[in-house]
Amino acid sequence: MKNDINWNFDNTYSRLPEAFSEKINPVKVKDPKLILFNETLAQNLNLNFSELNQSELSALFTGNELPKNSNSIAQAYAGHQFGHFTMLGDGRAVLIGEHLSQNNRYDIQFKGSGKTAFSRNGDGRAALGPMLREYIISEAMHALNISTTRSLAVAKTGENVIRETTLEGAILTRVASSHIRVGTFQYIAARNKKDELETLFKYVIKRHYPEIESSRNKALDLLKSVLEKQIDLVVNWMRVGFIHGVMNTDNMSIAGETIDYGPCAFMDIYDPKTVFSSIDKLGRYAYCNQPIITKWNLSRFAECLIPLIDKDHDKAVKLATEMIDTFEIKYEEKWLSMMRNKLGLLGTEEKDKSLILDLLTWMHQNKVDYTNTFCHLMNLKIKEDNIYKNNDFINWKKRWKERSLSHNNSEEKHKKLMKSVNPLIIPRNHIVENTLKEANQGNLKPLNNFLKILNNPYNEQANISKYQVSSNPSENYQTFCGT
């Protein structure tokens, strides 16, 4: 393998105690073929693949040829899946190493790379459609300014995977600040070895939260930092109508990135109870439950930290509980602030909450598109919709206009604020599905066009109206796990 790509590996996680991971290489694939490559991300990582030809790139992005100084591992972790504790681990992924670039450390991981010690009954593989879907949605999230893992490449394996039907296999190259999850702490905590827990704890502080190195109670401050990161994240999800779909504790990143794009999807028509995941029968991970579940997951994280918070167990529980109980107030504050931004309001007023809730209730009762309503409020030319001539809405708008003028707001400030947080474009379900259908038939053009448009969600672009049409709710969109 050519070395001039500029890989700069320093694989600290693989040097942690044996129990943390399995040393394993990706399983070689039959006929590698690169089909998507993220040039911009490669440049951000200071990587240069321009000297490689197609077959070398394909071998690289399937793991058939590993870069020098990589050191592949499958990470061990546990997790609460729909509330039930399970031992998990990377069953179909390997971390090939940590790449250093401009003082940042990036995990480079292959997803769909074959069986590991943690595969249980799975085949260790992934199908092309779901890997392309992760690429589309994670890159869309990044462009929406939401903290997320990224996608560097998708390559076909030339092998079939058997799901409900026979599908083409593929590998996604995922880039993350790390793949340490709440579930990683749960796995180590369950092993009941204090030295291992301390090792993970120190590692995480050094890697992700060095600012608390000098704290008096580092464990409590770690809990606080992760709690605040997760609140920021979920508030951002709520902002754009993103539904993660499988917020198990193994899918919650300690670094605060959106991770594990399985059954996730965006809400079109505003309905707080929206669920897309076929297995989420009770709506545990519905749009409106995301903050509550975030708090639930953080409580599981807090439990792992108890022995590190205080030697006195009862005192540690008390401190952790008090910290977890700050969630509601902090969330409410950040959510209100986000919604004020969406409405272009400056300052804070007592009546803001009812103004916001009245708009959401109106959208819900009238089955109106969430994203497009904010576009309408920004006076953007989206397809004429008679719903906005509704009297209740017009009356609401009068209240909103009046409130918008307060706190020395100007037309310019108001517009600029709204523009910075209200996307014109989200990855709408029917478009995602259509582009994937085309891609599965070998036509990548619609997918590449779509990626370009998703890359610039806050600005007007030519010919985007077809991407702004709400999905038809009667089509009952469903998404799936473990694909």
Binding site for Mg ion (CB under 5 A): 251, 260
Q: Decide if residue 409 touches ligand AMP (CB under 6 A).
A: no
Are 72 and 26 in contact by the 8 Å Cβ rule? The answer is: yes
HSE of 86, CA atoms in CB hemisphere, 13 A: 14
Positions in 164-183 near ligand AMP (CB under 6 A): none
Q: Which of 107, 250, 268, 369 is catalytic?
A: 250
DSSP symbols for 459-472: S--TT-GGGGSPP-
Structure tokens at 477: 């969109």
Reading the block at residue 317, the tokens are: 């529980």
Q: At what angle do helices 352-366 and 327-342 cross, to 10 degrees?
A: 70
User: Which phi-psi region, left, alpha or beta, contains residue 85 (left: φ > 0; alpha: ψ -120 to 50)?
Assistant: beta
Report how many residues bind ligand AMP under the rule CB under 6 A: 18
Binding mask 87-106 for ligand AMP (x = CB under 6 A): -xxxxx--------------
Residue nearest to Mg ion (CB): 260
User: DSSP per residue over 86-150, as a string?
Assistant: EE---SSEEEEEEEEETTEEEEEEEESB---TT-TTS-SB-BHHHHHHHHHHHHHHHHTT--B-E
Nearer to ligand AMP, 94 or 346 (CB): 94
Instruction: Please choose which of ligand AMP, Mg ion, none residue 90 contacts, taking the beta carbon within 5 to 8 angstroms, the exact cut-off set by kind.
Output: ligand AMP
Cα gap 45→304, rounded to integer Å = 33
Of the chain, the end-to-end C-alpha distance in Å amounts to 31
- Nearer of residues 174 and 376 to ligand AMP, judged by Cβ: 174
**Residue whose tokens read 């905590």:** 189
SS3 state at 415: helix
- Residue span 192-231 as binding mask against ligand AMP, x where in contact by CB under 6 A, dash where not: ----------------------------------------
Residue type, 313: H
Alpha helices in 343-410 (DSSP H): 352-366, 370-377, 391-404
Residue 110 identity: F
Integer Cα distance of 150 and 259 in angstroms:
9
* Least distance to Mg ion, CB of residue 246, Å: 7
CB of 312 to ligand AMP, least distance (A): 35
Nearer to ligand AMP, 290 or 471 (CB): 290
What whole-number distance in Å separates Cα of residue 454 and Cα of residue 80? 33
Nearer to ligand AMP, 87 or 469 (CB): 87
Partner in contact with 481, chosen from ligand AMP, Mg ion, none, beta carbon below 5 to 8 Å by kind: ligand AMP
- Reading the block at residue 82, the tokens are 């729909």
Q: Which does 91 bind (CB under 5 to 8 A by kind): ligand AMP, Mg ion, none?
A: ligand AMP
- When CB distances are held under 5 to 8 angstroms depending on the partner's kind, the choice from ligand AMP, Mg ion, none that residue 98 binds is none
Which is closer to ligand AMP, CB of 89 or CB of 291? 89
Window of 42-50, 123-131, 223-231, 265-273 that interacts with ligand AMP by CB under 6 A:
123-131
Active-site residue flag, 4: no
Q: Write the interaction track for ligand AMP spanning residues 42-81; mark x where CB under 6 A is met and - where it is not.
A: ----------------------------------------
Q: Are 181 and 251 contacting, i.e. CB atoms less than 8 angstroms apart?
A: yes
Among residues 189, 246, 323, 339, the one that binds ligand AMP under rule CB under 6 A: 246
Which secondary-structure segment (H or E) carries 81? Answer: strand 78-81
Choosing among ligand AMP, Mg ion, none, which partner's interface includes residue 92 (Cβ < 5 to 8 Å by kind)?
Answer: ligand AMP
Which residue numbers are catalytic? 250
Residue numbers of the site for ligand AMP (CB under 6 A)? 88-92, 118-119, 122-125, 246, 250-251, 260, 262, 481-482
